[in-house]
Amino acid sequence: MDSFFQHAIGIELTIEAGILRIFCSFIAGAIMGLERKLRMQFVGMRTLVLISVSSCLIMMLSIYMSQTFHPISADPARLAAQVVSGIGFLGGGAILREGFNVKGLTSAAIIWTAAALGLSFGAGFFIPGFIVLGLCLFSLIVIEVFEDKFFPVEDNRVLLLTCNEKVPVWEDIRKVCSSFGIVLIGIHTVSYSQGIKTEIGYDVRLPKNINFKELFPLLENEFKVKNIILK
């Protein structure tokens, strides 16, 4: 066992070193993938394990080529550089836009981090790799609690009201919404029927916790609203 680890943690790329580096990459990808799955994100364990392990393999291939074809000048960083640039396309696919909101930025960053950790372990950079893995988990779990407490996430939506009569005055609707912590940003769309505004959309910023069961009946009774849609 001691002989295995002596060969595994050395600079030279041996069979033992390759096994250990791939295993560390697998563990890193699985841990980050588990964190994403526990948060019900579509980027999961399989995706991040594949990214991390394949990045590790590419890094080891780069080192192997530079060691094997030593008389010939071979830059071990060239293949690794292609991973860094190419992983951006995969990360871009994780970013989604829903109305005014952009989601998936954290998942995209984790995809990039999984590739970086795979390259790090593939180069035998074990201690910095595990330090970065620990800091990533700290930021995803602990810092998120801090952000939710002091910087709650606000959701930008469109509040679409269909009125039986004329639409409410801006100041009146603003007062009602502000009592629920809703911030009116602007008017999104206006529809007319026989010269009277009958449908209007407000750009609103919603707080994290809002009681729609109280808000919607209040809007219906106060402003004679017959239909409410939140996009």
Per residue in 146-190, pLDDT (tens digit) is 877 777 666 777 888 877 766 677 778 888 888 888 888 877 767
Contact 227, 197 (CB under 8 A): no
Burial of residue 205, with CB atoms counted within 10 A of its CB: 0-12 exposed, 13-18 middle, 19 or more buried: middle
The chain-wide mean pLDDT, for the chain, equals 80
Using a 10 angstrom Cβ sphere, with 0-12 exposed, 13-18 middle and 19 or more buried, the burial of residue 145 is exposed
71-123 per-position pLDDT tens digit: 666 677 778 888 888 888 878 777 776 665 667 888 888 999 999 999 999 88
Question: 165: helix, coil or strand?
Answer: coil
- Sorted by where each begins, the domain ranges of the chain are 2-150, 155-230
* E strand segments, the chain: 96-98, 101-103, 155-163, 183-193, 196-206, 225-230
Please name every residue paired with 98 in a beta bridge, in sequence order, or none if there are none. 101
Fold of 155-230: Alpha-Beta Plaits (3.30.70)
pLDDT at 178: 84
- For residue 66 the two structure tokens come to 């530079």
C-alpha of 96 from chain center: 9
Chain Cα centroid distance, residue 165: 43
